[in-house]
């Protein structure tokens, strides 16, 4: 599907979504968010798609935040709707049964940092900068940043970054556990593809269950261990489990079908 603010291409089962507003540092305006929602929904149901990479166009920014030009005239009601809409889209990413990697190619600020954090893994280029600068504008993160930053790096450093609006460089983000890898910009997509190739060789339904179980750890009122028991049972009821066990016992490579 052609989009106005996104470039999308699928090769060897990997969908690459590039947010394409480089002159605005890929800031997330309403239509960009809506296009991300559509492309993610399509990725859920498209059997060709086995993994997803989200990145930004150009060499300067992944996403420099929500589009500040759209902040004028935000009433209480409109602001809550805007935040709820962002949550819905970022939850769609976080709960996607297929692996989603953020290829962070520069500034990941505000909604950009929140977008990266909603992805399952993050690979950053050496020039990346992460931050939640919302307090500079008199607001707070509204797309999950106050929750996911704590989940990823812990309360101590999360509170500092949220209250000071400080940006952290890629190497510090790695040290904090905010990103999985830091690589030169020219190797960013290749590194993401390398990780996704590894995951692609595993049983897809088991990968989906891993994502569900890990996310269950952070859901209110859900007993994660109980959740794991049921998910384990579901996995044992798949053809892929029979294939995986048989392949091991017969010393051959498993050929998983996602069934
Ligand atoms: N929303 C809308 N436009 C944005 C934007 C945002 N979040 N971030 C950058 N832009 C636009 C700038 O207005 C500028 O547009 P213009 O050329 O039409 O004036 C263009 O992108 C380039 O940005 P600029 O500020 O000139 O680049 P810089 O290298 O001097 O600074 C940043 C880079 C990232 C430090 C700076 O753009 C910035 O602080 N952006 C806002 C970050 C933020 O607060 N995000 C959270 C929003 S809730």
The pLDDT tens digits for 228-254 are 999 999 999 999 999 999 999 999 999
- For residue 8, what pLDDT is reported? 98
Q: Rounded to a whole number, what is the largest CA-CA distance in the chain?
A: 66
Domain holding 219, by residue range, is 204-249
Cα–Cα distance, 253 to 48 (Å, whole number): 21
Based on the structure, what is the number of domains in the chain? 2
- For residue 26, what pLDDT is reported? 98
For 120-132, what is each residue's pLDDT tens digit?
Answer: 999 999 999 999 9
Q: Is 134 a catalytic residue?
A: yes
| Catalytic entry in 134, 212, 226, 228 | 134
Mean pLDDT to the nearest integer, 196-209:
97
Q: Are residues 33 and 130 in the same domain?
A: yes
| Catalytic entry in 11, 88, 94, 114 | 114
- For residue 2, what pLDDT is reported? 83
Cα–Cα distance, 232 to 156 (Å, whole number): 34
Q: Are residues 66 and 170 in the same domain?
A: yes
Classify residue 134 as exposed, middle or buried by CB count within 10 Å of its CB (0-12, 13-18, 19+). buried
Domain-located, residue 148: yes
Cα–Cα distance, 212 to 57 (Å, whole number): 30
Which tokens is 88 given? 């819905």
The protein residue with its alpha carbon nearest to ligand 1, atom 19, reads 24
In the chain, what percentage of residues exceed pLDDT 90? 98
Domain-located, residue 173: yes
Residue carrying structure tokens 């996704």:
196
Q: Are residues 188 and 221 in the same domain?
A: no
In the chain, what percentage of residues exceed pLDDT 70? 100
Taking the mean position of all CA atoms in its chain, how far away is CA 235? 24
CA distances from 210 to 67, 104, 137, 207 (A): 33, 23, 37, 5
Q: Is 114 a catalytic residue?
A: yes
- For residue 121, what pLDDT is reported? 98
Q: Are residues 118 and 220 in the same domain?
A: no
For 103-114, what is each residue's pLDDT tens digit?
Answer: 999 999 999 999
As for ligand 1, residues whose beta carbon falls within 6 Å of it are 24-25, 27, 64-69, 107, 109-110, 133-134, 137
Domain-located, residue 1: no
Model confidence at 1: pLDDT above 80:
no
Contact yes or no for 217/224 (Cβ under 8 A): yes
Residue to mutate (ligand 1; options 60, 65, 143; most atoms within 8 A of CB):
65
Model confidence at 30: pLDDT above 80:
yes
CA of 38 from ligand 1 middle (Å) equals: 25
Q: Are residues 41 and 85 in the same domain?
A: yes
pLDDT, mean over the chain: 97
Q: Are residues 134 and 239 in the same domain?
A: no
Indicate which CATH number applies to the domain containing 83.
3.90.226.10
Q: Are residues 230 and 153 in the same domain?
A: no
Domain-located, residue 254: no
Cα–Cα distance, 176 to 169 (Å, whole number): 11
Q: Are residues 126 and 187 in the same domain?
A: yes
Contact yes or no for 222/216 (Cβ under 8 A): yes
CA atoms within 13 A on the CB side of 111: 26
For every residue of the chain, which 3-state class applies, written as one string? CCCCCEEEEEECCEEEEEECCHHHCCCECHHHHHHHHHHHHHHHHCCCCCEEEEEECCCCEEECCECHHHCCCCCHHHHHHHHHHHHHHHHHHHCCCCCEEEEECCEEECHHHHHHHHCCEEEEECCCEEECHHHHHCCCCCCCHHHHHHHHHCHHHHHHHHHHCCCEEHHHHHHHCCCCEEECHHHHHHHHHHHHHHHHCCCHHHHHHHHHHHHHCCCCCCCHHHHHHHHHHHHHCCHHHHHHHHHHHCCCCCCCCCC
Closest atom of ligand 1 to CA, residue 61: 34
Angle at which helices 76-94 and 30-45 pack, to 10 degrees?
30
For 65-80, what is each residue's pLDDT tens digit?
Answer: 999 999 998 999 999 9
């Amino acid at each position: 599907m052609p989009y106005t603010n996104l470039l999308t291409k699928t090769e060897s089962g990997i969908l690459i979504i590039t947010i394409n507003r480089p002159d605005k540092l890929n800031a997330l305006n309403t239509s960009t968010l809506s296009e991300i929602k559509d492309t993610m929904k399509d990725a859920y149901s498209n059997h060709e798609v086995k993994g997803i990479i989200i990145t930004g166009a150009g060499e300067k920014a992944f996403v420099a935040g929500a589009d500040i030009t759209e902040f004028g005239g935000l009433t209480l009601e409109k602001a809550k709707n805007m935040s709820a809409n962002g949550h819905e889209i970022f939850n769609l990413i976080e709960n996607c049964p297929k692996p989603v990697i953020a290829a962070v190619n520069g500034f990941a600020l505000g909604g950009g940092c929140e977008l990266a954090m909603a992805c399952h893994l993050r690979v950053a280029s050496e020039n990346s900068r992460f931050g939640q600068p919302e307090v500079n504008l008199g607001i707070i993160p509204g797309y999950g940043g106050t929750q996911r930053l704590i989940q990823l790096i812990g309360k101590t450093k999360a509170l500092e970054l949220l209250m000071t609006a400080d940006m952290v460089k890629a190497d510090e983000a790695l040290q904090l556990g905010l990103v999985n890898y830091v690589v030169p910009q020219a190797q960013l997509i290749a590194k993401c593809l390398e990780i996704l190739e590894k995951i692609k060789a595993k049983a897809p339904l088991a990968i989906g269950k891993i994502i569900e179980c890990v996310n269950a750890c952070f859901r209110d009122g859900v007993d994660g261990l109980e959740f794991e028991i049921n998910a384990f049972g579901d996995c044992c009821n798949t053809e892929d489990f029979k294939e995986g066990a048989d392949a091991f016992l017969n010393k051959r490579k498993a050929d998983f079908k996602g069934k």
